[in-house]
Structure 1
Amino acid sequence: MALYWKLVIDCGDPNVLADFWAAALEYLVEDPSALIAQLRAAGQLPDAAVVDYGGGQRFAGLAAIRHPEDPFDELSDVGHGRRLLFQEVPEKKIVKNRLHIDVHGGDGSPESLETLVERLERLGAERVKLVDQGPAGRWWVMHDPEGNEFCAA
């Protein structure tokens, strides 16, 4: 059996980042509404632990996305494969990330890179710096909506 994983990302607004990264990576935002309803009906989940968002309910301070082809739990919608979990923290990001995501799209041509970067900008990303290392590669360093660095290549 292959291992499954999740990368946990601290942030200010988990739902905004989950929506951005789901669109950027073509993943699915996990929908825990059925689990939340079950837990609330059993009196096991206080109102403060839940937020209304996007027409459904999510756990307060958490949102996750999963790869659409990976297995998942039917009740909780939690992915058992490639997954990103966004976790609310009180402090803002201060320094450069020590870990980042590289988003690849197209055939690596300048035109496909520009198409990818423009799509990411429409989703809320911001260009920071073009890195051109000639034959070794060319990519954009970008910021997601909360200022986390990632690369588009």
Structure 2
Amino acid sequence: IGKLYYDAQGKPTTIAGISGFAVTIFVGNSKKNNVGASSGEVDYNGYAIASDELKDRLTEFSMYLRQKIEVTSGNRSAARNRAAGGANASRHMFGDAVDIAVRGTSNRQLSIQAYQSKLFKTVIYYPDITAVGGLRPHVHLDLNPAHNNLFLIYTPTIVDGSVTGNKYSPFEF
């Protein structure tokens, strides 16, 4: 089993199969939440992503999901990263990290799907933390070469209703 291939209209196309036979790949119901997104649609919303490999993997992940991916954060300067509450060595500053959303899919489910796809080196699920100072809910993906399919959940330290420290724990679902 390999990659899925589609023509310019998002319809499955024929590729060479075993012993020269042709295999047609079907994509299922493309009307689920994001019409026409079966062709690997990623909306960067104006965010820059320096890593071509990450962009390719986002397209592949969109095909895996059969849904359009919305980028909610990409490359960051050190100042922008501080303002966003990012880690001191955030992969966003290296250009190989992205925060994403998919309409109609919870962040929890999206992070599990990203982890199961094995397309990313790191997946971090940020749940809704109602404490003062909590980072906003989102899904973070990166290609940190020090990781290999690492799956974390944001678990901040909370004292008297306020976040006193950001930390991360292995996410087991």
- Asked if these proteins are the same fold (TM beyond 0.5), I'd say no
Output the TM-score relative to the length of structure 1.
0.30
TM value normalised by structure 2: 0.27
Greater relative contact order structure (CA < 8 Å, 6+ sep): 1
